[in-house]
Amino acid sequence: MISVLRLGHRPLRDRRITTHVALVARAFGADRMLITEDDKNVFESVKDVVDRWGGDFGIEYVKDWKGYIKTWAGTTVHLTMYGLPVDENISEIRDAGNDILVVVGAEKVPGDVFRYADYNISVGNQPHSEVSALAIFLDRFFKGKELKKEFGGKMEIIPSKNSKMVRHLNEKRRF
């Protein structure tokens, strides 16, 4: 199981980025998202996507994130531009077979996180985004197979060359 813990979320300012982090977590094969602020807006956006597009991705509020990381029984991976290269460490992380807690910060992350984490992992060493860092980490972890994951939702896209095609699975047929 893979959980994603989002640190440093500030309501209003980080709402849209945190929602994108959560949607990436879900779309790229993680099982749930934990956020450190009880931000209704984020919860509702994510639940709405799960309701329409399927899967059993969960989102939960965690008050004591330090305690959460410290007592995590599996592997904790902190994604940071200062860490060791993802491509040189992903096999070891995957092969350990533990439950994984992926920690992604907002702009400022308390220094403690670097010490608490089992792995500090970078996706390149240039500034970009926690959204892209998480996507690439999960993509490497699942070796690209996550893009074909079936979610069994009410809505399903039929990939198309030049239009929007959506199958509504619960739609009543009109005879």
Residues forming the site for a second copy (CB under 8 A) = 13-14, 16-17, 20, 23-24, 26-28, 49, 53, 80-87, 111, 114-115, 117, 120, 122-129, 131-132, 134-136, 139, 144, 146-149, 151, 156-157, 159-166
Single-letter residue type at 161: K
Q: Minimum CB separation from a second copy for residue 40, in Å?
A: 18
Q: Which CB, 157 or 172, lies closer to a second copy?
A: 157
Q: Which CB, 161 or 174, lies closer to a second copy?
A: 161
Q: Which CB, 66 or 128, lies closer to a second copy?
A: 128
Q: Minimum CB separation from a second copy for residue 172, in Å?
A: 24
| Distance separating alpha carbons of residues 39 and 18, to the nearest angstrom | 10
Q: Minimum CB separation from a second copy for residue 124, in Å?
A: 4
Q: For helices 15-27 and 130-141, what crossing angle results, to 10°?
A: 10
Written in H, E and C, the secondary structure of 44-92 is HHHHHHHHHHECCCEEEECCCHHHHHHCCCCEEEEEEEEEEEHHHHHHH
Q: Which CB, 1 or 52, lies closer to a second copy?
A: 52
CA angle at residue 160 from 158 to 164, to 5 degrees?
Answer: 75
